[in-house]
Structure 1
């Protein structure tokens, strides 16, 4: 094989190797970023699910048990605020559901213990946020 042909093969191999390395590195960096994003979404989702269950327990204590300590509406406002803050980290859809939960809580918290519709409205919104979170987690890659 002549020297010119050998150099062409060498250059082609070198350029191909560099290009292949760059593609591999780019994919690896992208995959790490997606994995980190998914991890953050999962962590926020599980924290929101925990706070949703605590809010639901608070609603039940306030409405059905008439317990002013366990069903303290100030604790409910804190839970609702935290749920709304963390929901924006999960997805816009979950954020919208959390905003609706906040609005429903704001219109219903003072009727807990007297009005079944108020308790049912808040629990319904809690369930809606839960369902949206489950869909987001299910769709993560």
Structure 2
């Protein structure tokens, strides 16, 4: 009878340890996922702000002919920051941001006077924005 109680005690201890290990492992995994999602959200929100600022600069340069508010050098900085921040998000956002950088590098010097160049860059800004919205909607 004593041996039977000892085996029950051992099985209970082993089960308790396994249950604790499983619970701890799940908790660590969940915290990592939560942290990753938080980083992605923060980067996405920052990118959205930079996209809005870039779009505003483009409109100031093209429609208002304002060389100060629409300074393309500031646009280069914003496009670079958007590409850098996109590295903290999902691959789909990263791809669209790099496409924006490519589009910007081809069209930046024509934005002031060319409606097609302006529309092309703004369309790519919208593509990045749409991809961010999609990513944000899929986060847990």
Question: TM (normalized to structure 1)?
Answer: 0.98
1:90 pairs with 2:92 = no
Q: Which residue of 2 aligns with 1:132?
A: 131
Partners in 2 of 1:71 and 1:113 — Cα distance? 9
Q: Which residue of 1 aligns with 2:23?
A: 24
Partners in 1 of 2:20 and 2:111 — Cα distance? 62
Gaps of 5+ in 1: none
* Deviation (angstroms), 1:46: 0.4
Q: Which moved more, 1:72-81 or 1:90-99?
A: 90-99
Gaps of 5+ in 2: none
* Deviation (angstroms), 1:112: 1.3
Partners in 1 of 2:27 and 2:102 — Cα distance? 42
1:106 pairs with 2:96 = no
Partners in 1 of 2:95 and 2:36 — Cα distance? 20
Partners in 2 of 1:89 and 1:14 — Cα distance? 43
* Deviation (angstroms), 1:113: 2.3
Kindly provide the CA deviation profile for residues 111-133 of structure 1, in whole angstroms up to 9, marking residues without a partner as x: 11211100100000000000111
Partners in 2 of 1:112 and 1:63 — Cα distance? 6
List, as ranges, runs of 4+ consecutive aligned residues in structure 1 with deviation greater than 3 Å: none
1:62 pairs with 2:61 = yes
Partners in 2 of 1:86 and 1:49 — Cα distance? 10
Q: Which moved more, 1:46-55 or 1:100-109?
A: 100-109
Question: TM (normalized to structure 2)?
Answer: 0.98
Kindly provide the CA deviation profile for residues 21-65 of structure 1, in whole angstroms up to 9, marking residues without a partner as x: 000000000000110001100110000000000000000001010
